DNA sequence: AAATAAATTGACAGCGCTGTCATTTTGGCG
DNA sequence: CGCCAAAATGACAGCGCTGTCAATTTATTT
């Protein structure tokens, strides 16, 4: 039915091997031959068979993305970035959603990685901090790149953004607006980004010689509800903040809702800042000032690094730029 | 390095073919032999090589999901469902995000489906209504299942939910609460679900002998912003509704925001209903009464149907159940 | 123009598995 | 106990490609 390499070879009047060379863009093929082969291939509508290629060359032309992510937007964007990189190399991306909570989680991963032979794995958070997964990957000798892991992975390069600096920038933005009494809502304690973002906040406050009122620090869970509750606490204490920086957008949206119910106008009475630039940031009123994470880029770079097996002198840490996005939820205190 | 079928055969003292039979759960293998082979395989930590299997058996053990979806939550859930089905059959899911808007969209799809040989394709909306894609799939003779297409696809089975009935149920819910003046915000005109949801609304109103005030029907775009604008219009007209049913959650969230700014309390002064049960439905205050789409189930059933090549007497239309989720945004009119 | 190096091409085996078909073993029954 | 059908197993080719290495052609040098 579909044309094979032999058909193309016959039609172009060359050997199979030469066709193979052309298809793989190898050097040492005369220009004339290359043209001949290419047009023969086009005429026959030939496309190489992945399985055969994989079997002969012991590559699968597949990479996998393993994830267990609550946030769909995050996962989709990593995928988008990774598939972009894949296309540049004629690779494809297999997705494997996992449930860390499952009893047979480890078995699942084992059998998965057994059946499927991938040439590399993109490890999305929080899986990149999962010892079991790492162990299995290492045992099977499968190259992987963790995205935003909380620690280094030996020699393996990692891809991440700078949460501390981003939080620092956001805090500075608030300070430059003229805010002095700034509240902060921390993220889920078990998520490594939480500590980093708080650290950035603290650094910026300290550098501006601003006091951090302990009453203005609340513990959140990264959820909308926890944002509402934290705001409730912050806004009913003695010292009222003129701005609240929540460690993610969901909580920030909760703050806005809470402020509204308390009769406070955002941003006139209270500035609110978020983090992540998830869809909700654009779907509340006023729209959230936030930090855009380079999610797509992280996926892209992780996959790219996997596919360029130039184990050369490239940096061990691929640090990608975030972006401070100023919308209507922050302004100078009235 | 890794064990091959030959190693297992030698160790179990049987032929390669028998090992193959055991690995594929074929009949006609004596129980004793099966056990022997299985334990040999386990001892050697053997897992079959997909590429070799694919080459020999002309199957790829891969299905693809093609999508071009604005909504991450929708895409992720279809994926989740599809991968669940894949695991049951030791298949894997390759994802291919596409950009219909791209100039070389058609070439992209062609080359994609050329390189990759998949055993089937799950076609997410709105791609399932894209003639180009269908044509390419048909030409290459690749089985596919469209999810929630706007029309039938010849003999191909389709997977969908009943938007009309769901909208009807939501409207009935509102009517049962005692609402008579009910506004409706339509979705994006080019999205086929929009018309269906409106139809459901109309049917329910008619059946309850309630008049549909033309001033209470607004055109939206499925976006938050369009929801705000539509609500603005509906709430400043002569006849004020006591409830507004928006054709999706984003718009419903916009309605809530707009109502808030107008000094209306939801649900006391105005009930608001959405559709889809996206994350935002749970992240606004009050939380949205909405319709949960069986998205995960649609992905699951599409993939499952692809993998059970029982072209038998199964129904041509796989209709999945939605669910009316009542939260705090709807109540009896005050 | 002969000798040597470099570029280009091809022959062939074999990657790890499954399909086909032949062969052997087993169980049932008169 | 012998005969036959059914069940179980195996031998072997070949899926479509790439790696290896050898053969051929072309360019360069003296």
**What is the secondary structure of A228-258 as a DSSP string?**
HHHHHHHHHSSS--SEEEESSHHHHHHHHHH
Q: Which CATH superfamily is domain A163-293 in?
A: Response regulator (3.40.50.2300)
Q: How far apart are CA B128 and CA B151, in angstroms?
A: 9
CA of B15 to C1' of D11 (A): 9
Task: Extract the tokens encoding B210.
Answer: 């309630």
Q: Is the pLDDT of residue A314 over 90?
A: no
Question: What per-residue confidence (pLDDT) applies to B186?
Answer: 98
CA atom of A26 to C1′ atom of C5, Å: 21
- Please say if the pLDDT value at position A67 is more than 90: yes
Give the domain B59-162+295-321 fold.
Rossmann fold (3.40.50)
Distance from C-alpha of A40 to C-alpha of A38, rounded to nearest angstrom = 5
Residue with tokens 């990593």: A78
Query: Which residues, 6 or more positions from B214, have their beta carbon under 8 angstroms from its beta carbon?
Result: none
> How close A285 comes to chain B (CA, Å)?
7
- In CATH terms, the fold of domain A59-160+296-320 is Rossmann fold (3.40.50)
pLDDT digits (tens, 9 = 90+) for A213-266: 999 999 999 999 999 999 999 999 888 999 999 999 999 999 999 998 888 999
Q: Report chain A's mean pLDDT, rounded to a whole number.
A: 93
| A50 touches B: beta carbon within 8 Å | yes
- Tell whether B50 is within 8 A of chain A (Cβ): yes
B286 neighbors B313 (Cβ within 8 angstroms): no
Low-confidence winner among A22-31, A283-292, B105-114, B167-176 (lowest mean pLDDT): B105-114
Give the nucleotide with minimal C1' distance to the Cα of A55. Answer: C15
Instruction: Say whether pLDDT at A313 is over 60.
Output: no
CA distances B60 to A114, B84, B213, Å, are: 16, 18, 56
B35-91 tens-digit pLDDT:
999 999 999 989 899 999 999 988 899 999 999 977 899 999 999 999 999 999 889
Instruction: Report d(CA A146, CA A133) in Å as an integer.
Output: 11
Asked if the Cβ–Cβ distance from A261 to B90 is below 8 Å, we say no
- Write the DSSP string, A37-85: HHHHHHHHT----HHHHHHHHT--SEEEEEE--S-HHHHHHHHHHHHHH
Residue B247's pLDDT is 98
What value does the mean pLDDT take over residues B176-183? 97
pTM as predicted: 0.91
Q: Strand C: which positions are within 7 A of a protein CB? A: 7-20
Q: Which residues of A touch B95 (CB under 8 A)?
A: 79, 83, 93-95
| Interface membership of B23 toward A (CB under 8 Å) | no
C-alpha span between A216 and B267 (Å, rounded)? 32
Nearest CA in chain A to B114: A47
Contacts of B113 (CB under 8 A, 6+ apart): B136, B137, B140, B142
Q: Give the model's confidence band at A312: pLDDT under 50 very low, under 70 low, under 90 confident, else very high.
A: low
Phi and psi torsions of B90, nearest 5°? 55, 40
Sorting pLDDT into bands at 50, 70 and 90, what band is B311?
low
Per DSSP, the residues of B214-226 read GGGEEE--SSHHH
Q: Which two tokens stand for residue B167?
A: 């909208």
Instruction: Tell me what pLDDT residue B321 has.
Output: 97
Tokens read off for A192: 């490594």
Going from N- to C-terminal start, the domains of chain B cover 5-48, 59-162+295-321, 163-293
Residue B104's pLDDT band (boundaries 50, 70, 90)? Answer: confident
- Least Cα distance to A142 among B243, B154, B264, B1 occurs for B1
Neighbours of A153 (CB within 10 A): 18
Asked if residue B179 lies in contact with residue B333, where contact means CB atoms within 8 angstroms, the answer is yes
Crossing angle for the helix pair B249-261 and B224-236, to the nearest 10 degrees: 50
Q: What is the pLDDT of residue A112?
A: 85
CA distance B203 to A55: 58
Domain spanning B5-48: which superfamily? lambda repressor-like DNA-binding domains (1.10.260.40)
**Per-residue confidence (pLDDT) for residue A17, from 0 to 100:** 95
Q: Distance from residue A107 (CA) to nucleotide C20 (C1'), in Å?
A: 36
- Render pLDDT for B116-159 as a digit per residue (tens, 0 to 9): 889 999 999 889 889 999 999 998 889 999 999 988 888 889 99
**Which of the nucleotides in strand D have any atom less than 7 Å away from a protein CB atom?**
7-20
Distance CA B61, CA B57 (A): 10
Question: Average pLDDT, stretch B15-37?
Answer: 92
* pLDDT score of B309: 67
B59-162+295-321 and B163-293 in the same fold: yes
> For chain A, how big is the Rg over CA atoms in Å?
25
Closest CA to B229 of B210, B246, B241, B208: B246
**pLDDT given for residue B69 in this prediction:** 79
Relative to beta strand B323-325, strand B290-292 is: antiparallel
User: Which residue in A93, A122, A97, A118 sits closest to A108, CA to CA?
Assistant: A97
Q: Residue A311 pLDDT > 80, yes or no?
A: no
Chain A closest-CA separation from residue B272 CA (Å): 16
| Chain segment A124-161, per-residue pLDDT in tens | 988 989 999 999 999 888 999 999 998 888 889 999 99
Report pLDDT digits (tens) over B275-301.
999 989 998 889 999 999 999 999 999
Q: Which residues 74 to 103 of A reach strand D, CB within 7 A?
A: none
Taking the stretch 8-37 of protein chain B, residues with Cβ within 7 Å of any atom in nucleic acid chain D are 13-18, 21, 27-30, 32-33
Q: Which helix (H) or strand (E) holds B146?
A: strand B144-146
Q: Which residues contact B83 (CB under 8 A, 6 or more apart)?
A: A95, A96, A97, B92, B93, B303
Q: How far apart are CA A262 and CA A78, in angstroms?
A: 38
Which of A51, A251, A254 is most worth mutating to test chain B (most B CB atoms within 10 A of its CB)? A51
B116 touches strand D (CB under 7 A): no
Beta bridge partners of A96: A66
- Give the containing element (helix H, strand E) for A165: helix A163-177
């Amino acid at each position: 039915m579909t044309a094979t390499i032999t058909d193309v070879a016959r039609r172009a009047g060359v050997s199979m091997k030469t066709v193979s060379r052309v298809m793989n863009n190898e050097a040492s093929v005369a220009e004339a031959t290359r043209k001949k082969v290419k047009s023969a291939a086009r005429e026959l509508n030939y496309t190489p068979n992945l399985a055969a290629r994989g079997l002969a060359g012991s590559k699968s032309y597949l990479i996998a993305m393993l994830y267990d992510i609550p946030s769909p937007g995050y996962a989709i964007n990593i995928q988008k970035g990774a598939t972009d990189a894949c296309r540049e190399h004629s690779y494809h991306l297999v997705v494997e959603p996992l449930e860390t909570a499952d009893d047979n989680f480890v078995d699942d991963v084992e059998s998965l990685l057994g059946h499927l032979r991938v040439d590399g794995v993109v490890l999305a958070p929080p899986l990149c901090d999962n010892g079991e997964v790492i162990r299995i990957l290492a045992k099977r000798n499968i190259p992987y790149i963790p995205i935003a892991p909380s620690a280094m992975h030996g020699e393996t390069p990692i891809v991440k953004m700078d949460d501390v600096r981003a939080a620092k920038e956001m805090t500075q933005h608030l300070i430059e607006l003229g805010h002095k009494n700034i509240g902060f809502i921390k993220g889920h304690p078990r998520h490594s980004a939480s500590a980093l973002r708080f650290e950035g906040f603290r650094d910026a406050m300290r550098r501006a010689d601003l006091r951090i009122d302990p009453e203005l620090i609340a513990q959140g869970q990264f959820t909308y509800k926890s944002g509402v509750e934290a705001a409730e606490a912050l806004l009913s204490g003695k010292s009222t903040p003129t701005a609240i920086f929540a460690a993610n957008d969901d909580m920030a949206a909760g703050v806005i809702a809470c402020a509204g119910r308390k009769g406070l106008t955002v941003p006139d009475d209270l500035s609110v800042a978020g983090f992540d630039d998830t869809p909700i940031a654009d779907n509340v009123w006023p729209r959230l000032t936030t930090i855009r994470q380079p999610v797509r880029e992280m996926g892209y770079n992780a996959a790219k690094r996997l596919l360029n097996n130039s184990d050369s002198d490239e940096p061990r840490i691929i640090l990608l730029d975030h972006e401070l996005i100023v919308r209507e939820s922050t302004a100078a205190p009235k």
